[in-house]
Amino acid sequence: MSALASPSAPASPADAIPSADDLVARVKSYHPKADEAKLRRAYDFTRDAHEGQTRQSGAPYYSHTVEVALLLADLRLDVATICTGLLHDTVEDTEATLNDLEREFGPDVAQLVDGVTKLGQMNLRSKRTKQAENLQKLVVAITKDVRVLLVKLCDRLHNMRTLHFVAKQEKRERIARETLEIYAPLARRIGVNRVCVELEDLAFFNLNPAAHQSITKRLTELRTLRSKEVAEVSASLSEELLAAGLDARVFGREKRPYSIWRKLEKKGVGFEDIADIYAFRVLVEDPTDCYRALGVIHQRWRCVPERFRDYISVPKPNNYRSLHTTIIGPSNLRVELQIRTEDMERIAEDGVAAHWRYKAGSYAFDPGAAAAAGGDPVERLRPLMEILNQGGDPDEFLEHAKLEMFANEVYAFTPKGDLIALPGGATPLDFAFAVHTELGHTAIGAKINGRERPLRTPLANGDVVQIVKGGERQPPAGWEDLVITGRARAAIRKLIRSSETDEFVRIGKVIAEHAFLREGKVFRETILEDALKRLDVDSPEELYLALGRGQVTSGELVEAVFPGMKEMRGQRPQDRDRIDDDHGQLYVHGRGLTPGVSLHFGSCCSPIPGDRIVGVVESGKGVIVHAIDCEVLAAHEDDATDSWIDLKWTPETQNTVSVGRVTATVRNEPGVLAEMAGIVGEAGGNISDVKTLERTHDFFTMSFDVEVFDARHMSNIVAALKTSDRVVSVERTREVGEELG
């Protein structure tokens, strides 16, 4: 197995730096014809170029580049890639230029170093939300040459191995998280499992040392406890296979702390369920032997049928091939087995790197060998790139880019491919506000992966979200419920406040204009100066706002601007007496109505002159006047007929003003309220109060109290309102609706 540094046993800064001889020997072990002189030149180049620079550990900087080269040699890569490992930081961190490298080491090495340098520069922008965006660029870059990624992965691996030397915890965590979210998944994607699991464990160790420690401790305990059984099972397996004429290597394998941790996070799984399993790997000569070994083992011990997998017949997308089975093995122990050839093992561990070999005299990546092993793994990256660019299958992205440790995150993309990281459960509206506050404000709809979806739809990983914009800012009341991010919520609240204020100011201005019009005056803001003081407001806007909100009536405004005018001019719509409980008797007469009896207008139906009316005698209350179609009357149907009184409006009512109520549902568009107020004013009505009943994304339902002469006047106003194409429905209200503050 691979020689992995344990996170708990960090390398000492005093460790000797491997020499050029060490490196050459390592490369020659798998690549005897390697260009030794070139390797030595690159070794000297990195040592000299980084001279005087040190790592945070205190070690000379070039110790890092040499270690990266050795890691690449462990993957048995070509000389150009090893040289790139040695030189990968020279352009970024030293005086050396790409031209220097091209002259010294050829265009191949220069291009590879360029690719690695560019990836490194992206990492400088290390904001969390930028990371997966980097991933996208990374993938695009490496699909040109997978060696760039292999160098970058080994670079990251060595940096992770020495991460404990980084003083700032914040920086350590950032690097660890980036490793877990970007580099480890990419390593897995191209099958370089050995690097992937070490990256994961090192990241896990840095992000959650306590959990890492406790898992490691329990693993150690388990190992001690069951060492005897492991040896016995291993021996029994070997014996059985040997007896069948199979030459097999059998060894126990341990689960990685991070892989246990991920599984522990799933509900209903305990440590024992995962870790207390006897796991073995059986390596044989060729694929046929895999099936023979399987047959031998299944014949000898009972298998657990649902646990059997044939990844030789159907390899995993990253070319992983193996047989998996679980048996009730020796001593009734549950034993997990992976049966594969040495070649499959190599691919399982090194992935794409397993396909470097001699062909036509040169040692290089062999696409043919890769294809024979189940397809070019580099090709496997292309779908990921496409997912990142265009959306595609979200599950695919989920599998590779989402990590359970940070599962509460959603990565969605703009149509241009920019990545937006959001908390789980976020909606397109959150997305819009995350892109830009203005985009959130103007959003009226969303297309997710090309299809129109409601703005409340929770986003999934990999969704491509296109925000449909409206022409103007939408008053987004009610949208607060559609978002979960603080940023979106704060922006919406702010806009609700300002847009409602805007609306009321507009209404108030229209009310003021019409109030002046009725007085036969031309409205000018300058005329308000004295009135502002009397009404205790600071500015015309504040006055309009108060008018629009009904805090100041138009009558009060006129009185404030023209003191004493009410007395002088007599009756004007807003000044004339309103029909109310105290004066009802003046306007209504009828047979059987006792003079002097207390008369009230039902608040249930608010009858106004012109309505057909009826009175109901209620003991202790007097007579209540209802509109003939009032629903409350139904409750009195069984009453004695003499409690009903036929009533008529008196002719005097022609000179009075009544207050009726209109409920209108209008499109939630800027300016719509001012338009309503204008229509009412032009029809001779006078809005005395406005209440918001309901406000949704699309519609706005409100009630107006309107001063009118009679029911016919009211009908005219309702009809006038209906002429507006922004009015969805409008009707005279009989009952007072539930008012929202």
Place of tokens 């020279």: 90
| Interacting residues of 523 by C-beta distance below 8 A, sequence separation 6+ | 512, 513, 516, 517
> Which residue, 35 or 89, has its beta carbon nearer to Mn ion?
89
CB of 189 to Mn ion, least distance (A): 21
> Which residue, 89 or 181, has its beta carbon nearer to Mn ion?
89
Of 83-91, 184-192, 204-212, 265-273, the window that binds Mn ion (rule: CB under 5 A) is 83-91
> Which residue, 199 or 690, has its beta carbon nearer to Mn ion?
199
Of 155-163, 296-304, 408-416, 558-566, the window that binds Mn ion (rule: CB under 5 A) is 155-163
Given 22, 92, 173, 409, which residue is catalytic?
92
CB-CB contact of 297 with 327 (8 Å): yes
705 lies in the binding site for Mn ion (CB under 5 A): no
Given 22, 93, 100, 285, which residue is catalytic?
93
Residues 468-507 that bind Mn ion (CB under 5 A): none
Q: Both tokens of residue 583?
A: 């004066």
Among 114, 155, 376, 707, binds Mn ion (CB under 5 A): 155
CB-CB contact of 464 with 448 (8 Å): yes
Position 52, amino acid: G
Pairing state of beta strands 278-284 and 334-341? parallel
> Which residue, 64 or 713, has its beta carbon nearer to Mn ion?
64
CB-CB contact of 61 with 20 (8 Å): no
Torsion angle of alpha carbons 657, 663, 668, 674, nearest 10°?
A: 0
Draw the binding track, 501-540, toward Mn ion (x: CB under 5 A; -: no contact).
----------------------------------------
93 catalytic? Reply is: yes
- Rounded CA separation 591/11 (Å): 108
CB of 10 to Mn ion, least distance (A): 18
CB of 88 to Mn ion, least distance (A): 6
CB of 59 to Mn ion, least distance (A): 13
CB-CB contact of 272 with 252 (8 Å): no
Position 647, amino acid: L
Of 82-90, 186-194, 594-602, 692-700, the window that binds Mn ion (rule: CB under 5 A) is 82-90
CB-CB contact of 732 with 660 (8 Å): yes
Helix (H, G, I), strand (E, B) or coil at 251: strand
Cα angle 218, 222, 228; round to 5: 165
Of 153-161, 172-180, 502-510, 624-632, the window that binds Mn ion (rule: CB under 5 A) is 153-161
> Which residue, 92 or 276, has its beta carbon nearer to Mn ion?
92
CB of 159 to Mn ion, least distance (A): 6
Of 81-89, 129-137, 251-259, 714-722, the window that binds Mn ion (rule: CB under 5 A) is 81-89
CB of 91 to Mn ion, least distance (A): 11
Residues 273-332 that bind Mn ion (CB under 5 A): none
> Which residue, 123 or 598, has its beta carbon nearer to Mn ion?
123
Give me the helix-helix angle, 146-161 and 193-207, nearest 10°: 40
Number of residues this chain uses to bind Mn ion (CB under 5 A): 2
Tell me the DSSP string of 100-147: HHHHHH-HHHHHHHHHHHHHHHHHHS--HHHHHHHHHHHHHHHTT-HH
> Which residue, 158 or 400, has its beta carbon nearer to Mn ion?
158
- Rounded CA separation 557/531 (Å): 7
CB-CB contact of 465 with 434 (8 Å): no
Tell me the DSSP string of 235-269: HHHHHHHHHTT---EEEE----HHHHHHHHTSTT-
Among 35, 89, 349, 705, binds Mn ion (CB under 5 A): 89
CB of 151 to Mn ion, least distance (A): 9
Residues that bind Mn ion (CB under 5 A): 89, 155
- Residues with a catalytic annotation lie at 92-93
